[in-house]
Structure 1
Amino acid sequence: MAVKPIAIIAVFAIAVGGFVLATQWDDGPQAQQARSGTRPVAQQDAPLVNIVMPDDLGAMAQIGARVFNATCASCHGENAVGRNGAGPPLIHKIYEPSHHGDGAFHLAVQNGVRAHHWRFGDMPPQTGLTRAEVDAIVAFVRQVQTENGIN
Structure 2
Amino acid sequence: MSRYALVVLAGIVAAAPAGAQDGMVTVQKPAQLSPLAEQGRIAFGKTCAQCHGDWGQGNARQGPPLIHKIYESSHHGDMAFLIAMAQGTRQHHWRFGNMPPQPTVGREDALAIITFVREVQKANGID
Q: Same fold (TM over 0.5)?
A: yes
SS in 1 for 2:74: coil
Question: Which structure has more strand as a fraction of its residues?
Answer: 2
In 1, the alpha carbon distance for the partners of 2:121 and 2:92 equals 21
In 2, the alpha carbon distance for the partners of 1:97 and 1:29 equals 21
Of all paired residues, the percent bearing the same amino acid is 46
Note the residue ranges of structure 1 that are not aligned, 5 or more in a row: 1-19, 33-46
Deviation at 1:29, TM superposition (A): 6.1
Q: Say if 1:59 and 1:122 are closer, same or farther in 2 by CA, change over 3 A.
A: same
Larger radius of gyration: 1
Deviation at 1:125, TM superposition (A): 0.7
Instruction: Determine the structure 1 residue equivalent to 2:79.
Output: 103
Matched, 1:92 2:68: yes
What is the 5 A alignment of 1:1-151? 25-28=15-18, 31=21, 48-151=24-127
Letter in 1 for 2:76: H
* Cα displacement string for residues 10-49 of structure 1 (whole angstroms, at most 9, x for unaligned residues): xxxxxxxxxx78x8624456645xxxxxxxxxxxxxx700
SS in 2 for 1:106: helix
In 1, the alpha carbon distance for the partners of 2:113 and 2:19 equals 28
Q: Say if 1:132 and 1:27 are closer, same or farther in 2 by CA, change over 3 A.
A: same
In 2, the alpha carbon distance for the partners of 1:121 and 1:104 equals 17
In 2, the alpha carbon distance for the partners of 1:95 and 1:141 equals 9
Q: What's the Cα RMSD here?
A: 2.0
Letter in 1 for 2:36: M
- TM-score with structure 1 setting the length: 0.72
In 2, the alpha carbon distance for the partners of 1:123 and 1:24 equals 15
Note the residue ranges of structure 2 that are not aligned, 5 or more in a row: 1-5, 8-12
Question: Which structure has more helix as a fraction of its residues?
Answer: 1
Q: Say if 1:30 and 1:143 are closer, same or farther in 2 by CA, change over 3 A.
A: closer
Does the CA-based 8 Å contact 1:115-1:121 persist in structure 2? yes
- TM-score with structure 2 setting the length: 0.85
Task: Return structure 1 stretches of 4+ with deviation > 3 angstroms.
Answer: 26-32
Letter in 2 for 1:64: G
In 2, the alpha carbon distance for the partners of 1:136 and 1:70 equals 13
